């Protein structure tokens, strides 16, 4: 499904699904894990020029670390800030692994009839915005918990550190198209599929 202009209030992304919507410059996107230990893959595209897209390489290069949290900007492939993390109750999110896909489940899990994964969900959600599958980059993995062996470089996917009600808040620094999922990979979500919630608000902290 796609929502060019989401209505006010909190929206729920069903397990193993995704959505896409617009986010205006100056608005705040609140992504919440309502049940705990659930990852969300997030993409961002500049709305008036879809060739400008969120960049794992640029962001990690400028941050000089792989785990991002409050205060960190998320850069585009043109080194412009697309989003800024303004609040975070978890402190563990990364750009290390690409969105899971049917090929992920075929190659890693050996599934004979694989789910389309976050990649397929994002491709379907972003299609109405004119964004094809080949334009989907590495996503920002909200709540993902991947550890790295400092000697061998080996990656290990651990259960997310998020607990029920944990959230991360982004400020939009450009007018954007956002893609967002409730991740479909068993290992990423401690072997249980759960929903993700999101809300767009005009200010942060919210006005009382």
How confident is the model over 76-119, as pLDDT tens digits? 999 999 999 999 999 999 999 999 999 989 998 888 888 899 99
- Is the pLDDT assigned to residue 155 strictly greater than 80? yes
> Maximum Cα–Cα distance for the chain, whole Å?
52
Question: Could you tell me the pTM of the whole model?
Answer: 0.94
pLDDT tens-digit series, residues 134-153 = 999 999 999 999 999 999 99
pLDDT tens-digit series, residues 169-203 = 999 999 999 999 999 999 999 999 999 999 999 99
DSSP letter at 99 equals P
SS3 state at 62: helix
The Cα 92–Cα 108 span in angstroms is: 24
- Is the pLDDT assigned to residue 2 strictly greater than 50? no
How many Cβ atoms from other residues are within 10 Å of residue 143's Cβ? 26
The Cα 56–Cα 143 span in angstroms is: 16
Note whether 7 and 22 are within 8 A (CB): no
The Cα 147–Cα 161 span in angstroms is: 12
pLDDT tens-digit series, residues 4-56 = 556 669 999 999 999 999 999 999 999 999 999 999 999 999 999 999 999 99
Joined together, the tokens standing for residue 68 give 């991002």
């Amino acid at each position: 499904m796609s929502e060019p202009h989401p209505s006010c209030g909190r929206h729920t992304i069903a397990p193993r699904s995704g959505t896409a919507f617009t986010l205006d410059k100056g608005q705040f996107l609140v992504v919440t894990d309502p049940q705990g230990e659930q990852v969300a893959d997030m993409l961002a595209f500049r709305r008036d020029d879809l060739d400008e897209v969120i960049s794992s390489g640029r962001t990690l290069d400028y941050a000089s670390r792989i785990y991002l949290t409050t205060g960190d900007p998320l850069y585009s492939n043109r080194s412009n800030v697309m989003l800024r993390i303004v609040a975070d109750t978890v402190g563990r999110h990364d750009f290390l692994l690409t969105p899971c896909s049917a090929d992920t489940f075929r190659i890693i899990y050996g599934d004979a009839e694989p789910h389309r994964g976050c990649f397929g969900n994002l491709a379907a959600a972003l299609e109405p915005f004119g964004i094809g599958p080949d334009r989907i980059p590495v996503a920002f993995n909200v709540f993902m918990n991947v550890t790295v062996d400092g000697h061998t470089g080996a990656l290990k996917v651990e259960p997310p550190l998020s607990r029920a009600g944990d959230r991360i808040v982004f400020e939009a620094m450009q007018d954007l198209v956002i893609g967002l999922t409730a991740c479909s990979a068993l290992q990423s979500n401690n072997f249980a599929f759960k929903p993700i919630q999101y809300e767009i608000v005009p200010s942060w902290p919210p006005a009382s």
